[in-house]
Structure 1
Amino acid sequence: CRGDGCLCREPLETTMTFDENLRVFREALARGQGEGSERRTVNCLTAETGRCGAFRYFLFVGDIYRHELRWFDADGAMVAWRNVTDYDAYCGGSLARWKGRVPRCEEVERTELICGEGQTVLTPLEDLHALAAGRGPRGAGP
């Protein structure tokens, strides 16, 4: 399986919380990352937070071609992490990867636009179906 319509499913192995995710991102956005000649800034096309039922999300689109959507439960624990890129970076040569479970919720609502322009965020199940059908997010590059 290669390219669009291929989806890599992997277990989620992280302890990052919603609050930690926001703190780290805001610091990187404000100051950049790295030191000296290794220093780079964050290219942010979209960064936003929102809710879907009891779940919260953090969406980031930017850098070279990075489209990440992270889902957190009511306690702030990460439960899912979806990545899409423009090359075969994930298992089986896929362009998309889903880690963790698929949160169940009905309606997505943006709560904060951190930078860039807002995007339409699908429910996790709709997102997973779109990825599997080769209709993943686009426009995730400078």
Structure 2
Amino acid sequence: MKAILLMFVFIGVATSVKASGVKVTPGKYHDDYHLKLELVSGRYALNTEYGYNEGGQFEVFVPKVNFPIAAPNCKENIIIRMPYSHDTEANKNLYDKLNASENVTVTLEINPYVSVLSVEPLELQLENCNVFFRQKNGGYFNQL
């Protein structure tokens, strides 16, 4: 019984720690959640079928075990998507680094597919299996 209780306490603490690096920005209609994530070589894969597309769009697969926010509805991977951008230079530079299997720290937008399980301490859970690279003013924005 003690082992089960300790395991439950450990899981609860681990979940709280997972969201500790998330920056919450209050918005007019909803809060925005941003996260810095280091994509480590060998722990991510580019979607080579999708490739690099018009507007600098591409996708990266990260095994959900390597993603810092719980995603119980996902079977295997979290898909990080680069949305269409007007300025694609930063997108292409990032894509080239990922294609070369470099370690890269990126900034993600966790909205809109996130549920807030607890505000204090912050605990989040992904509802779907995808998140986006952060965008601002029509381009990739690699800052919190």
Q: Name the TM tier (shorter chain).
A: under 0.3
State the structure with bigger RCO (CA 8 A, min sep 6), 1 or 2. 1
Normalization by structure 2: what TM-score? 0.28
Mark the structure with the bigger radius of gyration. 2
Normalization by structure 1: what TM-score? 0.28
User: Going by fraction, where is strand more abundant, 1 or 2?
Assistant: 1
